[in-house]
Each structure stands twice: as structure tokens, then as C-alpha cells.
Amino acid sequence: METPISPPVTCPIIVGREPELAALSNAIAQAAAGQGCLALLVGEAGVGKSRLVAEIRQQALGQAYTIMQGRCFEPDATLPYAGLIDMLRAWLGPLSPAAASVALGPMAPHLISLLPEYATLLPQPNMIALDPQQERQRILQAFVQLIGQQAMHNPLLVVIEDLHWSDGTTLDTLLALARRLHEWPILVLATCRENQTNTELMLLLETLERERLATLLPIAPLDFEQTDAMLRAIFHQNRPIRGDFLSVLYNLTEGNPFYVEEVLKALVAGGDIYRTNERWERKALADLSIPRSLRAAVQRQLAELDPQTRELVRVAAVTGRRFDIALIRQITGMSEVALVSTLRALIDSQLFVEETADRYAFRHALTQAVLYTDLLARERRILHMQIATALEQLVPQHNELSISDFAHHCYEGGMWAQAANYAQQAAEQAQRLYAPYAAIEQYNRALSAYQQLGVQPPTALFRARGSMYETLGQADAALGNYRTALEQASAAGESIEQWHALLAIGFFYAARDYAKMGQYLQQALELARTLNNPVILGQSLNRYGNWHLFDEQAQAALRYHFEALEIFQRINDRAGLATTYDLLGVTHLMGSDKPAAMVHYQHAIALFQELGDLPGLSSALATSGLRGISYYHTTTAPVEDGYQAWIRDGEQACELAQQSGWPAGEANALVYLALTHGAAGEYTLALQRTQMAWELAQTIGHPVWLAGAALAYGAIAFDLLDLPLARSYLEEALETTVELGQFLTRRVVGYLARVYIAQRELARAREILLPLIHQSDTPMHTQGQRLNWCARVELALADGDPQLALEITQQLIATALHANQREPGCIPDLWFLQGQAAAALGDYETSADALIAAYTGAVHLGLLPIQWRIQHRLGRLYHEHGRRTLARQAYAQAQTIIQQLTQRIPDPTLQQTFQHATTAILPRSFSEPANQLGTSGTISLTKREREIAKLIAQGHTSREIAATLVLGERTIETHISNILGKLNMSSRRDIAAWAIQVGLAHRID
């Protein structure tokens, strides 16, 4: 006799996931041993990600793990920290208020605002009010520290499911946690759908992959044999499933385990599959009514419910994936007894799952989606209205966690006035918590609601939405919103909003078109001077001053910044002061006065730290890292706190930009680091960071940092003598920068002209360089101008005009701020050019002095790329003037440095190109290793003679050497004569050059 049974129909075992289980089991063991890690399960809906999570959860419990588990739901994309809040609630739910307070520990003050249900139960701390960005960072760090604290006694498993429905703040927190996992015994296990990865999630996945912070486990549907194994497990059948039925079922479900279960459930419920005599049977295939989609399976399941239960399910589907019982009861009017009974039936039928005593959820998101879309549009609208009204009654205080729900249901219910109000509040909340995607969604709702009302939206909404688009790198949408705001404000006579819009558009063009930037910022400043508002005026002065720097007018920029500084000092505006000092720092830095820049940067960095302004601090540190020698700054005296200090600030800037979720700031810091690494010959790091900057800039469509990365690539390739590659990158950079203004264009032209000169395409070099260089009126103030003048020196040398080259070089040295307070050679590039020009004029002594000074400075600063070039040029100079010993030594020293640099080139092609090019440059007859010549030379001298040679190289006279060594001056002269004879030299200058080349001048004996 046939005995139909009802669902559930579920697979009792996990099928086809052996590799994934092995990897996750290994991760459990690895985390327990103190090596935390992140595993991400990615696959389509219903493929079995949650089943794997449940299995690993059981393994973790068996190994004394603490468990913290949360889930994201579809409406949560507009609710900041939703997935983490869900995890907190599940974790704290069983605890008393006192126990919850203890569990949160020192993080309670930072997290309690996200848990309004605890607001009246736990003490409220007096927290300093922070701006949205600061508050976001505080909450993010609080979550990370809380999770870290839970792993202090036992290993911890943190589960966050359905990241595809997550908001940006949850993703940012997950990334911050991933970067700390190596410190703690924690396994973070997250899931997301592969076909529902939004832009924020894609960026997270790319970052995790780029930084190697996660193990990605793709979960594929089951294959044909695995589906057969799943069916046999469900029906406890040892024999294979009949091929015809399996084929139909597999084609329908494509091996998705959830689809398989749902279809089987419907077939069992309809009697198409039945059990008799302890065996499962089915009707003939021709008689089977196989559902064609999941919708059919869900509809069939729903049809078996009584009218009251169906109504509850419909209301729940409109409420969302999860729902509160109080809300359902308010709308349906069901009694407590009837409601509990109905919920029990729905749980038994596997439509619902119980999360807490008051909160339930659909077992599968797809089930809720099918039910929702099956409703008529009018039905959905009426139910949304009922839900919004019920929420008004149940949550009259409109706490922040319910604002997005109010906005959603009011909007979908056509309650336009309420929708406009709540959506604006929800957008502002998301913006405060730095959740740009959520903010845009809510701004869209608010603007659409105003349109439905036939009312002009507030101008600030367009500007605010534009700022969120700009944050995400969506330039066209950002500019469109800014222009709408400007047009509306101008028409309505809203002066403050008009100023805001002008400033926003001007700042928008900072990365795109400097001429347009200046036009809008000038209009903003003119308007600001009429508004009698010192803060607005100070901000306008700073923005317009910064534009003057972009236009290579550093002195004009300083005037505007100092006027702003006086305003902010008078009103004691700390944020305004921080920004102004930052801008003064960059203006002095780009204007070639690095010590003055650092005075301002010290103030700016301290203020940004005090304010907790991470983007501001990141920007200030990144730019202050250029105080040394980089591809940008080769023509000015560096601040001599050393290469490691320059790099340290840049790396900290990178970390802060990552923490802030600011990809443009991270690209900025990476470009600056690459420019500094490259100038020092650290090519592996230079190329790595250039590539990272390039990828980030491409992702967000930021032309300034695309051009900056291309410039870095070009400069590195030029250093490595790959002229075609350098030309390719620099020409690409030039195409971008000509639309942006002189600020970047001058730098790109400075390097591209040198490439053309090296390729003997002098006409091309003149074509791009001479329009920027007018000998009578072009100053040598800014870094860009000075780079152009250096290229002009090389062009003059190539043209056979060494006198012009020498005159320009001498003027560059004379106008280099602070250089006259230091030793000759403190700017190696300039003394190197002077040495080449003097050599071309036949002035041996001036050339040798300049080249030796340049080499000494390059050694002091650790600049290997220019060191080998100087030694090569010295070798030529000595050879031309018959100093063969010195020539051999110089060429050999150049070869040694080249070998060191070759080992630092990570790309085999670049390495081979560099080796071939340098081999072609160095004379073969002088290719002996430097250590042979250097060793034989120093061995031939006594210890006393080496001491004297060292002091000669350091610039001491015979009398000073005699006093230092406590010898007579005549004795010193005798030693010098012996040195000259042994080394076959004729002057003290030759001894000094030799001692420098063999490294004796820097050696401590």
C-alpha cells in the first residue's frame, strides 16, 4: 500500500565536497595552532555553502572553539554593520545584560550604539562626538579588537554568511580583521554568492587576493555522479537511481543541492514519489509532474497551506528574509497560540527557521524571493504600506537601526512623504558610517520620492549623492549630481549651497582638468568673500591656493594658504588648521623648500592625529615621504633623515588609506613609494608598488594616479636602460597629463625628453620640452620646472653646446634652496650634470671635482642608480686625460654597482636588457671586477698611507693631517709622495678620487 509522506526531504550526508572539507579541516587545525586565517566559500545560491559551514562548525566545537556567527540578509545592503550586528545579537542573546556587558568588555562603549535593545540595560558612556569617518573607524576597530579578545583563551571560529548582501562597512571590517589574523588563533569562515558579487564585494575579493589574505574555495554544483550519490543518500538506497529519472532531475536542477531537495520535496508532497514496503518508489516517468523551476516547487508547497498560514507567509515574504513575530502578529491579527502553531508547521515544512524566540527567517532566500515576486504589484504595495504602518506603531522612536526599514517599506508602499524623510535620514546615517553604496541607494529613494510628490528635492541631496559617487570613483555620475546641485542652488538663490556645489565641482576637476578646476574654485572664492563666513572663506582660499600650485604658481599658492592660516588661527578651527598646514607643506615641497615643508607637515600630522582624520593623515604622510630623493625630486636638497624614514612614512600612509577604505589615497601613497624606491635602486619594491597603484587607479578610474603610475614605470624603465619601454609608458602618461595641466605634465616631459635624447631623437625632445622652457622667463622654483631645466641641460650637451649646459647647471645649483649650507654634491644629479658639462668643455679639474662630489653625495644618500653612471663618466674622464689606473678603478666600480642593481631587478626581461645595455656602455678592456683592483691597490699601501689617503679624500690639508695623526708635516708630505709613486699618480686630487672609488673614504679601519 502506498503511503504518501510529507517533507522534509534532506540529504543526511555531505556529498562531493571532500577537497573543500579537507581544506577547511586543515584551516581549523592551523588556527588552533595560532596561525589565523580567512576562508571564503563562493558559489551560487543553494550550492551547499551553509552545509559546509555547519559541518566545520561542528568540528570546531569538538576542538573547544568559541563560535561567533552572523548572517547578512537582503535588505542589509543599506544597513551599516548589519552582518556584524547580527553576529553580536546571536552571541549576546543568551546572556543577561550584566553578562553581555562583561562579554563586550572595553569595547562596549564603542558598540552599544549599534544595539539599541541594550540601550536601557547597559550604562551609556560619555563618548566624544566624532565625525562620520572617525566614528566609522572607531566602530571598525572595536569589532576587530572584540574578536581578537575572544581568542585570548580558546581558538575562535567567526562565521559571516551571505556577504553578497552585506554593506560596505561590514566588508571593510572583515578586511581589517583579515589583516590581523596572523596574530590570533582565529578561523574566519565567510560565504557569498558568485553571481551576486557587487562592486564593494568585488573590491574586497581583489584586495584579499592581492594581499594574499584569504583562501578562496569555489563551491561548484554537483556533477551527474555526485547528484546520483545525493539521491541515494536521501532515499537510503544502495542501488543507483534509474538513469532516466536522474537525467531529467539533473537537467532540471543542474546539480544544485538546494534545487534537488526542493524538487524532491515537491514530488514527495504530490505523491509522485512514495514509500511502500520500506522502499521508495516513483510513478512512471510519463506520469511524473516534474516542476520546471524552483518557483513551481515553492508554489506547490505553499498551496498545501491553509489560508491563514498562506497569508502569514505572504506577509513574511514582503517583510524580508527575516522578520519579527511582533510585526507579523500586528499585521495578521493572529493570536499568540495560533501564531506559534502556524510557525511550528512552517518550520516542520522547512520553509522557516527559528533564529531567536522573537525572530524567524525563511530557510532559503530564494524561497522568499519566489514568494515575493509571485505577488501582484498591488498586493506588494498594500503589504508594504501595512508593514510601514505597523512599524510606526511598534517602533515609534525610529531608532537608527529601523530607519532603513522604514525607508524601504514606505517607498515600496508608495508612502512618498514618509519615504523621502526616512530615506534621507538613512542615507545620512550610511554616509556617517562611510557606507557609500548604501548611502546612494537611500539618496535614490529619497529623490524618487520627492519626484513622486511633485516637490523639488533639497539641493543638498544631489551634492551628497555626488560625493558618494565620487568616493566610489564613478566620475560621470558624481559630476552630473554636482551640476544639478549648482543649477538648482543658483536658480533658487541658495548662496551656501551654490558655494558648496562650486567647490565640489572644482575639487572634482583636480584629478581631471586643472583649467576647469581653477575656474570653479575662483567662482567659489569670489562667492565666499560675500558670505561673511570665515570657515567657508578659509576653505575656499585653500582650494584656490592649491590650484595655483597645480598650475606651477607656488608663490601665489602660498599667499592664499597663509591668508587661510590666519583665519583658522583666529577662530581656532583645528580641522581648518590641519588642512592648511598640509597644503602649506605640499606647496613648499613642490616649490623646492623641503625643510620648510617639513615644519608645516609636523603641525599637520599632529593635528590630523589629534582629530582622528585618517585620510588627512595618510595624505600628509605620503607627501612628506617625498622629502628625500625620488624620481619627482632629484633637483633639490633632501631632508637628510634617511631613506628608511622616507619609506616608513609612505608605508604608514598606505596602511591608513587601506583602513579608511580610500583607494585613491592608497594609490597616491603607492606611487610616491615607488618613485622613492626606484631612485634608490630598490627595483623589486618599486615595480610591485607601481603595479598595485596602477591596478587601484584603473579600478576607480583615477587619471592622476594612472598617469603617476605610468610615470613611475617609465622612470624605472629609463633607469634600467629599456628606452622603448620607458618611451611607451611616458608617452601614455603624457596623453593623460596634457588634459590635467602643468603640474604632472612637466614631470612627464622631463623624463620623456631625456628618453628622446638618449634615442638621439633630438627634434622630438625639443618639440615637447622647449614650449615649457623659455630661458628668459621660465623660473627654476618648482620641482617640475627644475626637472625640465635638467632635461634642457642634456639637450644642450647633445646639441654640442656645453657652455649653455654649464650655465644652466650652475644656475640650478645656485637656486637650489639650502644647498649652499651643505657639502658639494648634496644634490647628486646637479653635480653630475655640472661634471659632464665641464668635461665637454675640456675642464678636467672642474669636471673631476663635480663628479667626485656627486659620487660622494650619492653614496651618502644611498642612490645606486646614479652611482654607476657617475663612475662610468669618471672612467671616461680619467681615460681621456691619461689617468689609466683611476679609469680602470672607476669602470670596475661601475661594474660592481651594476651587478648589485641587476640582482634587484625582478623581471628577467628587464634584467637581461639592463645587462646588455650596460655591457655595451662599459669598455671591455676595463671590465675587471672592482674588488680585484681595489684590493691590489690598497694592499700596496701601508696602513699609515691608507689613513693619509682617506684624510686627503675627506678634504684635509697636510697640516690638518699632521695634527690628526700627531706627525710632522714634512713626514706627511713624504707619505704623500710615496702614495703617488705607488699608484702612478701625479696629484692629491688623484689620490682623493682613488680613495673614494675604492670606498676608502667611507671605511672605518
The residues near 186 (Cβ < 8 Å, ≥ 6 apart) are 31, 36, 147, 148, 151, 155, 156, 157, 158
pLDDT of 1005: 43
DSSP letter, residue 639? P
- Gap between the Cα atoms of 384 and 324, Å rounded: 15
Those residues with Cβ within 8 angstroms of residue 546's Cβ, 6 or more apart along the chain or in another chain: 510, 557, 561, 583, 586, 587
Confidence bin at 886 (pLDDT 50/70/90)? confident
Q: In terms of Cα–Cα distance, which of 506, 567, 565, 502 is closest to 533?
A: 567
CB 792 within 8 A of CB 766: no
pLDDT higher for 113 or 189? 189
- Provide, for the chain, the percentages of residues in helix, strand and coil under a 3-state DSSP scheme, each rounded to the nearest 5: 70, 5, 25
- Closest by CA position to 946, among listed 891, 886, 999, 894: 999
- What percent of the chain has pLDDT above 70? 88
Length of the chain: 1005
- Tally of CB atoms within 10 A around 908: 8
The CA distance from 141 to 158, in Å, is 16
Q: What is the rounded CA–CA span in Å between residue 727 and residue 764? A: 12
Three-point CA angle 104, 105, 106, nearest 5°:
115
Q: Mean pLDDT, to the nearest integer, of 892-916?
A: 93
Q: Residue 92 — φ and ψ, nearest 5°?
A: -90, -15
- Rounded to whole angstroms, the Cα distance separating 1005 from 945 reads 12
Chain mean pLDDT for the chain: 85
Query: Residue 999 phi/psi, 5° resolution?
Result: 85, 5
Percentage of residues in the chain having pLDDT higher than 90:
42
- Mean pLDDT of the 795-814 span: 95
Q: Do the Cβ atoms of 704 and 684 come closer than 8 Å?
A: no
Whether the CB-CB separation of 621 and 647 falls below 8 Å is answered with no
Residue 284: its pLDDT value, please? Answer: 52
Whether residue 277 is predicted with pLDDT greater than 70 in this model: the reply is no
Does the pLDDT at position 197 exceed 80? no
d(CA 853, CA 451): 72
Q: Is residue 539's pLDDT more than 90? A: yes
Above 70 in pLDDT, residue 747? yes
Nearest to 12 by CA among 221, 229, 291: 229
Q: Mean pLDDT over residues 892-903, rounded?
A: 92
- 687 versus 92: the higher-pLDDT residue is 687
Cis peptide preceding 724, ω within 30 of 0? no
At 72 the pLDDT is 86
Cα dist from 560 to 368, 652, 783, whole Å: 59, 30, 20
Report yes or no: 700 and 738 within 8 Å, Cβ to Cβ: no
pLDDT at 569: 96
Burial environment of residue 336 by CB neighbours within 10 A (0 to 12, 13 to 18, 19 or more): exposed
The answer to whether the CB of 995 falls within 8 A of the CB of 950 is: yes
pLDDT 10s digits, 106-160: 887 778 778 777 766 666 666 555 567 777 788 888 888 889 888 888 899 999 9
CB 321 within 8 A of CB 368: yes
| pLDDT class of 763 with cuts at 50, 70, 90 | very high
Cβ neighbors of 204 (< 8 A, separation 6 or more) are 163, 171, 174, 175
Q: Are 411 and 449 in contact (CB under 8 A)?
A: yes
Helix, strand, or coil (residue 858): helix
Return the pLDDT at 243.
58
Q: How far, in Å, CA of 13 to CA of 15, rounded?
A: 6
Distances (CA, A) of 508 to 14, 471, 475, 478: 53, 10, 8, 8
- pLDDT mean over 162-176: 88
Beta-sheet strand order (sheet of 215-218)? 66-71, 156-161, 186-193, 37-43, 215-218
DSSP 999: T
| Structure confidence by residue, pLDDT tens digits, 201-244 | 888 888 888 888 999 999 998 888 888 888 888 887 766 565 55
Residue 645 — very low, low, confident or very high, per pLDDT cuts 50/70/90? very high
> If we measure between CA atoms, which residue out of 968, 978, 997, 974 comes closest to residue 877?
997
Lowest mean pLDDT of 180-189, 292-301, 670-679, 961-970, name the range. 292-301
Q: Which residue carries 588634459 as its cell?
A: 739
Q: What is the DSSP letter of 435?
A: -
What pLDDT score was predicted for residue 936?
38
The helix/strand/coil state of 495 is helix
Per-residue pLDDT tens over the stretch 695-724: 888 877 778 888 999 999 999 999 999 999
> Would you state the cell numbers that stand for residue 568, as one nine-digit string?
583658522
C-alpha cell at 689: 608598488
Phi, psi for 741 (deg, rounded to 5): 115, -175
DSSP H helix total and E strand total for the chain: 48, 10
Residue 970 is predicted with a pLDDT of 73
Smallest Cα–Cα separation from 77: which of 198, 220, 258? 198
What pLDDT, on a 0 to 100 scale, did the predictor assign at position 943?
77
Instruction: Tell me the HSE value of 134 on the side-chain side, using a 13 A CA sphere.
Output: 14
Q: Is it the case that residue 521 has pLDDT exceeding 90?
A: yes
Which residues is 362 bridged to in the sheet?
352
Contacts of 931 (CB under 8 A, 6+ apart): 896
The per-residue pLDDT for range 601-624, each reduced to its tens digit, is 999 999 999 998 888 999 999 999
Q: How confident is the model at residue 79 (pLDDT cuts 50, 70, 90)?
A: confident
802-814: b or e for each residue (b if 16 or more CB lie within 10 Å)? Answer: bebbbebbeebbe
